[in-house]
Structure 1
Amino acid sequence: MSSAAPDRPTVAGLPPAVWLVIVAGCLVGLLNFGVRSGFGLFLEPMSDARDWGREVFSVAIAVQNLMWGLGQPFAGAIADRYGTARVLIAGGILYAAGTALMAVSSTPLAITVTGGFIVGLGLAGSSFAIALSAMARNVPEDRRSWVLGLGTATGSLGQFLMVPLGQGFIAEYGWQTALGLLALFALVIALLAPALRGKPGGAKSGVGAAAVAEMEQTLGAALKEAAAHKGYVLLFLGFFVCGFHVAFIQVHLPAYLVDKGLSPALGAWALGLVGLFNVIGAYTSGILSGKFSKKMVLSGIYLARAVIIALFLLVPISPASVLLFSAAMGLLWLSTVPATSGLVAQIFGPRYMATLFGIVFLGHQLGAFLGVWLGGALYDATGSYDVVWWAGVALGLAAAALHWPIDERRVVREPAEPLPGEAQA
């Protein structure tokens, strides 16, 4: 072993194999987020072409978010048990297939199956949660918040790059060809998967009793432990609010701006700007989460969201106000992810992080389902998005309060009893 302070490594000191995992994980997040971030651009042209109300497309994307959430814990458990690469390959193929098939979905049932069920399961298998868990387990604990922030920030860069690109594809080639081109980007995830192969685990020699207890813990015991932890339940509820905000804005903001007399291109640039500023916000959140209380970081993020959404609704809408709102929301967009995933790893350890964060992420996707579906349903019923916007303000305030009671301390586990006849130390 080197004598150069192995317990406090620098970023530059990470070995090339670890950097390969980090780069591949960042690219997976970029493509996973980037492709799906542009689905809101297809709401208006697809609805017009198929003579649908907005609720039809909204239901499909709501189902997509729900299937993503329901599939995520299972995808995480499979990755924890059998390795990351297999899950990412299957997820990338499903993601690409569902996106391509959306282009030929001519009925409400078809778009719900392709854009909802198939893409949703593909997103679960190719998601940032799977990539982040692989990245987190390959770096030392004192670099974990940094790498989670880096991975989330790169995913946000995908939104900045892919949403304007998707709008360009629609303008140049039409929405059907645009979906086919985006499907090719999703397929690249499967090609990146081998770089992230591996699964949690390791030798027990030379590690402390707490680490041995974590290695010996079964998945069932980990799930029981998490379910009994009040902070884990509060993280689930808080992430519900994050999903509500993100999915509603991502899907309905472009159409909302068109309703207000602004151009469709502004909607694409608004979502792209969200992605650009989230690169800053997510990376900064990773840094702050490594230095300060993660639950306080989360409370501050949700409180700021509530204030920014309220201001956006209260001031006269204009291109300038839209871009300012997008930049401000971008700083807070996925900045919840490093702190939330970091808390899961901090409290329970990285052994079952993909599974445990996957369950918390289910809360996020339940909120996303509600936000997307309510947006479409209430718009068709009332001709306005106002109720959903103000619900987002109220939920932001509630989430800010929910994170305060979380106990951030690492759970204490007793090492398993030695088996009969096992040699004693």
Structure 2
Amino acid sequence: MPNPHAGSWTPALILSLVAAGTILSLSMGLRQSLGLFMEPMVRGTGITVATFGFAMAIQNLAWGIGQPFMGALCDRFGGRIVVIIASVLYCAGLYLTATGNTIGLYFGGGLLIGLAVAGTSHGVLVGIVSRLATPAVRATAISILAAVGSLGTFVIAPVAQTMIDGSSWQFSMGGLALLAASMAAVTLLFRRGRGETPATAPSQQVDARRAIAEALANRTFVITTMAFFACGFQLIFIATHLPNFVGICGLPPSVGAQAIALIGICNAVGTLVAGYLCQRWGNRNVLALIYLLRTASIAVFFVLPVSVETTLVFAAAMGFLWLSVVPPVSGLINGLFGACCRMPATHGLTPSADGLGAWRGSRAV
């Protein structure tokens, strides 16, 4: 029979969207503020820039590789337990990073935080929201989630820099660990949609190997995934090295924090605009335009002299284009493989997505 809630914003969707947005905002805000710690760690512990950068590279790989496994856990046990586990990993990773030694940085700031971000970012959270949203509101809901997810950076980056300047980088990292722990409590807001059937139904079982084979055989999926490699390089490089780069150019550390914060607030606007444009121009056209504008922004920034003004304008431009890839990419993947599979009846959350849901956003954006 027809769903009476079709096309509507149900209480389950609204509460789950609030929870997912808060978790994503905290997770991305914490992750994108880590570049602020490079300079004080290099100065105070003897860790080199190359060591810090390599740890962030490990983190990015763990983030990308970990998402299919986090998606599988989400399919089997529900999203709440995945976020709670990721929250614990986040706290442990920040604690080990705060020890100030190379092994702690590689294992904590690299591996553990990478896995934590995999469990608290788009691959899991977009699936939760997508399953509860009807097709009429799904694109809007995903755009809102991606937009809200960047607001944490606007707050966390300046606060983290203030704590570094006023106390120490270890104290600031301890504050970030408390924020990471709060993500576990936010999962209490997750709700389950009406009329959902158990994931154990035979018609809902999706073999992982078949799903991966189907994805890799799809030309559009392969091209989108390859483009995400460049996407991840651009964004993670900027988040990690921009604060230190502006410091080398003689600008105060506060400029780096302001740039990261500006990226966060402009991202909220850019993602909503991207979601709107996808409905008018199509996902492929919008995605191609985003990548083109990003490339042009980076090229112009490196040609112009580095100043407070050029740095902040560059940050605003990149922020506008930061996670605006999420609506078109999610739209492409949903169009190719469908929305989401059913959730386990014994858990209060929807799994990440269909058998290919773990791939949705599987590259760190």
Output the TM-score relative to the length of structure 1.
0.78
Matched, 1:305 2:294: yes
Matched, 1:152 2:141: no
Name the SS of the counterpart of 1:279 in structure 2. helix
- Give the distance between the partners of 2:221 and 2:283, measured in 1 at CA: 13
Q: Provide Cα deviations, 1:94-123, integer angstroms capped at 9, x if missing partner.
A: 1122112211132x1221011111111111
- Give the distance between the partners of 1:138 and 1:359, measured in 2 at CA: 19
Name the SS of the counterpart of 2:149 in structure 1. helix
Q: Provide Cα deviations, 1:176-213, integer angstroms capped at 9, x if missing partner.
A: 01001001101111111233366999449xxxxxxx99
- Give the distance between the partners of 1:350 and 1:2, measured in 2 at CA: 18
- Give the distance between the partners of 2:66 and 2:137, measured in 1 at CA: 28
Q: Percent identity?
A: 35
| Matched residue, 2:31 | 36
Question: What are structure 1's unaligned runs of at least 5 residues?
Answer: 205-211, 369-425
CA pair 201-122 structure 1, distance change in 2 beyond 3 A: farther
Q: Indicate if the aligned counterparts of 1:148 and 1:342 stay in contact, CA closer than 8 A.
A: no
Aligned length: 352
| Matched residue, 1:92 | 87
Name the SS of the counterpart of 2:145 in structure 1. helix
Matched, 1:135 2:129: yes
CA pair 168-69 structure 1, distance change in 2 beyond 3 A: same
- Give the distance between the partners of 2:2 and 2:66, measured in 1 at CA: 42
Q: Which moved more, 1:250-259 or 1:224-233?
A: 224-233
Deviation at 1:355, TM superposition (A): 5.7
1:20-419 to structure 2, matched below 5 A, reads 20-106=15-101, 108-196=102-190, 202-203=196-197, 215=204, 217-351=206-340, 353=353, 356-359=356-359, 361-362=361-362, 364-365=363-364
Q: Indicate if the aligned counterparts of 1:29 and 1:155 stay in contact, CA closer than 8 A.
A: yes
Name the SS of the counterpart of 1:317 in structure 2. coil
Structure having the higher Rg: 1
Deviation at 1:357, TM superposition (A): 4.8
CA pair 203-320 structure 1, distance change in 2 beyond 3 A: same
Name the SS of the counterpart of 2:340 in structure 1. coil
Name the SS of the counterpart of 2:47 in structure 1. coil
Question: Cα RMSD over matched residues?
Answer: 2.4
- Give the distance between the partners of 1:323 and 1:145, measured in 2 at CA: 30
- Give the distance between the partners of 1:80 and 1:258, measured in 2 at CA: 44
Q: Provide Cα deviations, 1:120-144, integer angstroms capped at 9, x if missing partner.
A: 1111122232111101110101211
Deviation at 1:216, TM superposition (A): 5.2
CA pair 335-201 structure 1, distance change in 2 beyond 3 A: farther
Q: Indicate if the aligned counterparts of 2:153 and 2:260 stay in contact, CA closer than 8 A.
A: yes
- Give the distance between the partners of 2:171 and 2:238, measured in 1 at CA: 25
Residue type of the alignment partner of 1:226:
A
- Give the distance between the partners of 1:216 and 1:181, measured in 2 at CA: 42
